[in-house]
């Protein structure tokens, strides 16, 4: 992996082997799109990080230092994917969090992944993952470091033509994709699954919610399959219309097109594509 890495604000690619982030996944992360050195959705990433820190009772390092390091890491990259991780640092043996945790924070940057132009224009092919997300309200919504479900789901396919895998819960509801949130238009209304039992409250999802009236609730697979329009949202990849779920075809629709236009205007999606 070709990346610049900073640990606790200092260039260098290694962390203590007994960091609780590695021992237990005891921490949080954000993957932030930087465009020409600035992050258009920075405040949303920060809000989610702070929410996660509160939920995990995790002290955060100084936020200006994180920002400055992220800017430094992204410097010179036209479009950078900057990952920020905050862990509970090194503690005593065992699960009990230290009374006074000294968080460790890691910032790395690499060129943002290139998205094929026709993914934006004609839509993406996705599949339904076999893995079902576990319901855990204590961890739902936040972007914590316990991501084995995503890893196992993403390992279900290797065909590069399949852009994403959809994930549901154990009760027959669709929740999102392995690394993106999902929206569906039904009867003229925009819907997105609630992420209070499982799933991640994506930053691009939050941006859509701020721009479009959306029903947040439960969405069954049957309801999804009858939707007029489906699209995925991702900080790094923007608005991705869904053209096929396994063998079922869909057509990119006006809501996705409108959001794509807004995303491009805000610098959140490449304008040379689509």
Residue number, 145 or 232, with CB nearest to a second copy: 145
- CB of 261: closest distance to a second copy in angstroms? 27
Q: Does 100 bind a second copy (CB under 8 A)?
A: no
Q: Does 30 bind a second copy (CB under 8 A)?
A: no
Do residues 110 and 34 lie in contact, with contact meaning Cβ atoms separated by under 8 Å? no
- CB of 19: closest distance to a second copy in angstroms? 7
Q: Does 93 bind a second copy (CB under 8 A)?
A: yes
Report phi then psi at 6, rounded to 5: -130, 130
Cα 80 from Cα 36, distance rounded (Å): 8
CA distances from 5 to 45, 65, 106, 127 (A): 19, 14, 7, 33
According to CB under 8 A, which one of 34, 97, 199, 203 is a site residue for a second copy?
97
Residue 24 burial (10 A CB sphere; 0-12, 13-18, 19+): middle
Provide the residue count of the chain: 274
Do residues 145 and 83 lie in contact, with contact meaning Cβ atoms separated by under 8 Å? no
Interacting span for a second copy (CB under 8 A) from 42-50, 148-156, 180-188, 209-217: 148-156
- CB of 265: closest distance to a second copy in angstroms? 27
Where does this chain bind a second copy (CB under 8 A)?
1, 3, 5, 7, 13-26, 29, 56-57, 81, 83, 85, 87-88, 90-97, 99, 106, 108, 110, 113, 131, 134-136, 138-139, 144-155, 158, 170, 178-179, 198
């Amino acid at each position: 992996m070709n990346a610049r890495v900073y640990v606790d604000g200092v260039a260098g690619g290694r962390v203590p082997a007994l960091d609780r982030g590695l021992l237990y996944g005891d921490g949080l992360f954000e993957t932030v799109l930087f465009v020409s050195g600035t992050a258009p959705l920075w405040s949303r990433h920060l809000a989610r990080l702070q929410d996660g820190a509160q939920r995990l009772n995790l002290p955060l390092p100084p936020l200006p230092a994180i920002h400055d390091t992220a800017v430094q890491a992204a410097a010179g990259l036209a479009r950078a994917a900057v990952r920020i991780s905050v862990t509970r640092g090194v503690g005593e043996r065992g699960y009990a969090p230290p009374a006074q945790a000294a968080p460790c924070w890691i910032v790395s940057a690499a060129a943002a992944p290139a998205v094929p132009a026709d993914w934006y224009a004609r839509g993406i092919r996705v599949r339904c993952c076999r893995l079902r997300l576990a319901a855990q309200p204590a961890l739902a919504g936040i972007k914590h470091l316990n991501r084995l479900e995503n890893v196992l789901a993403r390992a279900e396919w290797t065909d590069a033509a399949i852009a994403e895998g959809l994930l549901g819960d154990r009760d027959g509801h669709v929740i999102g994709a392995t690394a993106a949130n999902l929206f569906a238009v039904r009867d003229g209304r925009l819907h997105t699954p609630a992420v209070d039992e499982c799933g991640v409250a994506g930053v691009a999802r939050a941006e859509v919610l701020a721009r479009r009236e959306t029903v947040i609730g439960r969405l069954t697979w049957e309801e999804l399959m009858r939707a007029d329009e489906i699209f995925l949202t991702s900080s790094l990849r923007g608005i991705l219309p869904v053209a096929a779920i396994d063998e079922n075809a869909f057509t990119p629709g006006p809501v996705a097109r409108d959001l794509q236009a807004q995303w491009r205007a805000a610098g959140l999606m490449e304008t040379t594509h689509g």
